[in-house]
Amino acid sequence: MKPLYPLSLLLLLLAGCQEEPAPVAIVRPVKSMLVQPFGEQPVSFTGTVEPQVSTDFSFQILGRIVDRRVNVGDTVAAGAVLATLDPTVQAQDVQAAEAALVSAQASLSNATGVASRQRALAASRIATQAVVDQAEQSLQSARSAVLQAEAALEKAREQLGYTRLAARTPGIVTAVSAEAGQVVSPGQAIVTIARPDLRDAVVDLPDHYAAALAPGAMLRVQLELDANVAAQGTVREVAPMADPVTRARRVKIALQNPPAGFRLGSIVKVALPVGAEGALALPASAVLRRDGKTFVWVIAAGGDTVALRPVDVREEADGRLAVVDGLEAGERVAAAGVNSLTDGQRVKIQETNR
């Protein structure tokens, strides 16, 4: 029997000449949405209630704290002692200064008597004028010594007083920065006290929102956990420059007659009116950021392909973007998964918001 090699080889060649089937285009499911006008909608930003006036209290001398009498949250009156330093050295200095003053006063009394006697002797022509002049100089020196001793005693007592740290104004303790036994330096903050009657809502806003606010503008502020607890506030300060990292500007809003729920440190929401004329609203998930520019994937009218289109985004709040150029109301765009699409890719609308 003859081998079948030629026939097998022929079959292999014929199989190799057949065309490979064309690859099947992958249709990607995509969530989409219809673009709608942004509208006049209030948006809110989260902030905190902070005191308008807050003061750091510190000792004026070096020393070791032996007693700290207040804690965070305590209410203190003006003049209340906040903390004390070990007064041993300062008390000894006062005792030494008192002794020096007593000695100076005794020297002054003696010099006064000598000068008086020398003047009497000079009047009787028993003492010379030179002796009288010397007695007068000694008297003047004794007087100066007393003045110096009095000043030294006053300074020593002042230093002793510096071992007690007292509140100059009433308020609430918002921070303590040192403990008993700790050695502290002059000027080092020990206790921070805030005035509870003057409170701000402090919020960091995107630059474009902050730029639209002017001092004196009225805004509504509410507790984050209870929208029914609210107060009106007046913009009193807008930071002139944005933070280089967050690109936000700090805004301070003076609260007018805030309710008791607006305690220092409370989380609040500040409502801002938003209305970029002609702007369209999109969620942040629908916008692709690439090389410092912003794009969206526009779904063709037939709903089967996507095309990348640049857009101009101006405002941002609560996860929404205000698109002012590049889109028309009613167009359909991909609402999610924008980083995994390609230009011209076929898609299948999986879910829409409209």
pLDDT in tens, 58-82: 999 999 999 999 999 999 999 999 9
Q: What topology is assigned to 62-84+163-193 in CATH?
A: OB fold (Dihydrolipoamide Acetyltransferase, E2P) (2.40.50)
Q: What is the pLDDT of residue 20?
A: 55
- pLDDT confidence tier of residue 29, bands split at 50, 70 and 90: confident
Ranges of CATH 2.40.50.100 domains, the chain: 62-84+163-193
Contact 320, 44 (CB under 8 A): no
Query: What is d(CA 202, CA 12) in angstroms, rounded to the nearest whole number?
Result: 80
Q: Where do you find CATH 1.10.287 in the chain?
A: 88-160
Do the beta carbons of residue 103 and residue 216 sit within 8 Å? no
- CA-wise closest residue to 297 among 343, 352, 350: 343
pLDDT reported for residue 17: 52
Q: What percent of the chain has pLDDT over 70?
A: 87
Is residue 7's pLDDT more than 80? no
pLDDT at 229: 92
Give DSSP secondary structure letters for 59-108.
Answer: -SS-EEEEEE---TT-EE-TT-EEEEE--HHHHHHHHHHHHHHHHHHHHH
Q: What are phi and psi of 152, to 5 degrees?
A: -65, -40
201, 233 Cβ separation under 8 angstroms: yes
CATH architecture of the domain formed by 88-160: Orthogonal Bundle (1.10)
Q: For residues 159 and 156, what is the distance between their CA atoms, to the nearest angstrom?
A: 5
At the second CATH level, the architecture of 43-52+198-274 is Beta Barrel (2.40)
pLDDT of 90 reads: 94
Answer for the pair 288, 335: CB distance below 8 angstroms, yes or no.
no
Q: Give the chain's radius of gyration (CA, Å).
A: 42
Which amino acid would we find at residue 95? Answer: Q
Task: Let me know: does 51 contact 200? Beta carbons within 8 Å.
Answer: yes
Q: Which CATH class is domain 28-39+277-352?
A: mainly beta
16 versus 347: the higher-pLDDT residue is 347
Q: How confident is the model at residue 350 (pLDDT cuts 50, 70, 90)?
A: confident
Question: Which of 202-216, 273-287, 301-315 has the lowest average pLDDT?
Answer: 273-287
